[in-house]
A and B are shown apart, each in its own frame.
Chain A
Amino acid sequence: AQSVTQPDIHITVSEGASLELRCNYSYGATPYLFWYVQSPGQGLQLLLKYFSGDTLVQGIKGFEAEFKRSQSSFNLRKPSVHWSDAAEYFCAVGAGLTGGGNKLTFGTGTQLKVEL
């Protein structure tokens, strides 16, 4: 069965500093990988996704992620964090269902705090 590990529960960075959020996945086949962001009391917003091809993917709000098959990782990065980036970040892997569909398996999330 597929699984996602986000090792960092909380991360605090200063505004303007760089950011890297870690994500490791376990999945038998070629994974579909996603990063979502959730602001307090809100739903999930898609930041970026990897299906195939270039292993460095660009997303919204200046985020990027790199797929490394050898390390089973899909880390999220941003070169300069803004105070508005404070939120919870979820990494997810998409896996096929026996009925032909697709479900997402999420990590437990990383709470990002930005210090001004």
Chain B
Amino acid sequence: DAGVTQSPTHLIKTRGQHVTLRCSPISGHKSVSWYQQVLGQGPQFIFQYYEKEERGRGNFPDRFSARQFPNYSSELNVNALLLGDSALYLCASSLQDQETQYFGPGTRLLVL
């Protein structure tokens, strides 16, 4: 079975631009979570979605938004990019919102 997939794998943007990152969960998983991993640190929680509803949000500004589609895939959107948004963005899926999370390979975003 395919694991969690994310696209694109790498992305370069300039300050002020907008970016959309995509995630497809493991088949049968209904929950998707997003994490930001800055170089040299552990991942930080951004959002969790379950059955298209937001279950929780981490300490991130409103420039960060996300949604989940009927097929349980998800998008993470970041507006008005800052240099500090450069990071590896990880998507994780789980059967339900309280279950073990399995991670995708991530999207590496570089903001210049």
> Is B61 interfacial (CB 8 A cutoff)?
no
Contacts of A107 in B (CB 8 A): 42
What residues of B have a CB within 8 angstroms of the CB of A108 in the complex?
40-42
Residue A45 is within 8 A (CB to CB) of chain B in the complex: yes
Residue among B41, B58, B100 having the largest count of chain A Cβ atoms under 10 Å: B100
Write out, one digit per residue, whether chain B residues 2-20 have a CB within 8 A of any chain A CB (1) or not (0): 0010000000000000000
Given the interface contacts A43-B90, A49-B100, A102-B97, does A97 sit within 8 Å of B42 by beta carbon?
Answer: no
B56 touches which one: A45, A46, A103 (CB < 8 A)? A103
Asked whether B50 is an interface residue with its Cβ less than 8 Å from the other chain, the reply is: yes
Q: Which residues of A are found within 8 Å of B53, using beta-carbon distances?
A: 99
**Interface residues of A: mostly helix, strand, loop or mixed?**
strand
Asked if A42 CB lies within 8 Å of chain B CBs, one says: yes
Q: Is A98 an interface residue (CB 8 A)?
A: yes
Residues of chain A within 8 A (CB-CB) of B94 are 102
Chain B nearest CB: distance from A37 CB in Å?
A: 11
Interface size on B, residues (CB 8 A): 31
Question: Are A46 and B42 touching (Cβ within 8 A)?
Answer: no
B101: chain A residues at CB < 8 Å are: 102, 104
Question: B106: which A residues are within 8 A, CB to CB?
Answer: 42-43
Instruction: Tell me which residues from 11 to 49 in chain B have a Cβ below 8 Å from any Cβ of chain A.
Output: 31, 33, 35, 40-45, 48
CB distance from A74 to the nearest CB of B (A): 15
Are the CB atoms of A97 and B100 closer together than 8 Å?
A: no
CA distance A98 to B90 in the complex (A): 22
Query: In whole Å, how far is B57's beta carbon from the nearest beta carbon of chain A?
Result: 8
Across the interface, do A97 and B90 meet the contact criterion of CB distance under 8 Å? no
CA distance A101 to B55 in the complex (A): 5
- Contact across chains for A101 and B43 when beta carbons are under 8 A apart: no
B103 and A106 contacting across the interface, CB-CB below 8 Å:
no
With contacts A97-B48, A104-B45, A106-B42 known, what are 6 further pairs, Cβ within 8 A?
A97-B55, A101-B33, A102-B55, A103-B45, A104-B92, A105-B45
